[in-house]
Amino acid sequence: MSAPVSILILTFNEELNIARCLDSVAGWAHDIVVVDSGSTDRTLAICAEYGVRTVFRPYVDHRTQLQWGMGEVAWRHDWLLVLDADNIVSTELKTQIAATLANDAGCFHGYYSRHVHYFRNRRVRGLKAFYLHLVRRSRVRVDDSELVDFRLIVDGRIGRLSGQMIESNQKEFQIDFWIDKHQRFAHRMALEEVLRAEGALCWSSHLRPSPIGSPDERMIWFKNWWYRMPLYIRPMLFFIYRYVFRLGFLDGWNGFVYHFLQAFWFRLLVDIKIGELRHEIDVGQITLIDLLRQTSTATISRGSAAAPTP
């Protein structure tokens, strides 16, 4: 069953991922556009084999790339499914999307879908369960209040689908790729937290932090609590929360490696960088103006998995 939906995929050197992504939507969606930022591997050749449209845009950051793709590409449908190259749309989710859009009465302008995360082709639990991938283009924009994570802001009601969107980045089999990517994220996340603490960066007024709100509103609420916790201690607490209370230990050695790196090592690296930034501010080496300038010049990692999983 096909669906009246367009698909936007962002790529940069994704030859290990893009075929799996396109396999999951080819023949089901007939308007697939890949916005590429200068791949030098076989990414574009693989896209050509599938007959999808490709357009080039120089990379600034993931948020800007996505906003440009939604607004500047000539789309055939108002409904848009936003994917990274390491996403795989399950058969169940495709069936639900097709049925939902076939009976679209204009009451909802976006749908969260269940998100399942894999690390080195093995599932890891305890992460954010729902992501917003399916949106009505005419009623959505990209949130510009975060420096690493990005969120889609929908003007209107948002529903939920139980079908799974699978995230499985094949490039993460080389652990150096994962580490290098998160080292780049760490500086930008530290920068964001320092600016928020100083009141120089605020959350979008369209998203209200709430423990009982949408998945994105709950995440912002959690981050506000995170910012109040003491540096260097909170990574240990987060690892325990993920690994024990969110059942990460059930995923064996692979789960331990993932949560140790993502919940502890990465968050500890962010805290160390926050300490460095605060020291530089205290001794007059940098100012908040300097940090704000960095937000307009620094970029985050290109390609799939645009931001660290919350």
DSSP for 193-210 reads: HHHHHTTSS---TTS---
Q: Compute CA distances 148 → 64, 96, 100, 188, whole Å.
A: 12, 30, 31, 7
110-119 and 130-136: which strand pairing?
Answer: antiparallel
Tell me how far apart the alpha carbons of residues 195 and 288 are, in angstroms, rounded to a whole number: 7
For residues 156 and 10, membership in a common domain is answered with: yes
Are residues 172 and 261 in contact, defined by beta-carbon separation less than 8 angstroms?
Answer: no
Query: Are 12 and 157 members of one domain?
Result: yes
Based on the fold, state whether residues 135 and 114 are members of the same structural domain.
yes
Domain CATH code at residue 101: 3.90.550.10
Q: How many domains does the chain have?
A: 2
> What pLDDT does 158 receive?
96
**What count of Cα atoms within 13 Å lies in the side-chain half-sphere of residue 132?**
25
| 310 residues of the chain, pLDDT tens digit each | 688 999 999 999 999 999 999 999 999 999 999 999 999 999 999 999 999 999 999 988 888 899 999 999 999 999 999 999 999 999 999 999 999 999 998 899 999 999 999 999 999 998 989 999 999 999 999 987 777 777 899 999 999 999 999 999 999 999 999 999 999 999 989 999 999 888 888 887 777 888 988 888 898 999 999 999 999 999 999 999 999 999 999 999 999 999 999 999 999 999 999 999 999 999 989 888 888 887 764 444 444 444 555 6
Check whether residue 155 and residue 211 sit in a common domain: no
Assigned domain for 306 exists: no
- Would you say 261 and 224 are in contact if contact means Cβ atoms under 8 Å apart? no
Question: Same domain for 152 and 197?
Answer: no
Do 157 and 79 lie in one domain? The reply is: yes
Domain end marker among 118, 136, 170? 170
| 75 lies in some domain | yes
Note whether 160 and 12 are same-domain residues.
yes
Domain match, 185 and 275 both: yes
Q: Which of 170, 185, 213 is the last residue of a domain?
A: 170
Residue 1: inside a domain: no
For residue 29, the 8-state DSSP code is B
DSSP state of 264: I
Confidence (pTM): 0.89
302: in domain: no
Give the domain extent around 138. 6-170
Same domain, 75 and 147: yes
Q: Is 131 found in the same domain as 33?
A: yes
* 211 and 162 inside one domain: no
Residue 302 has what pLDDT? 47
Last residue within a domain, chosen from 132, 148, 170:
170
Do 18 and 161 sit in the same domain of this protein? yes
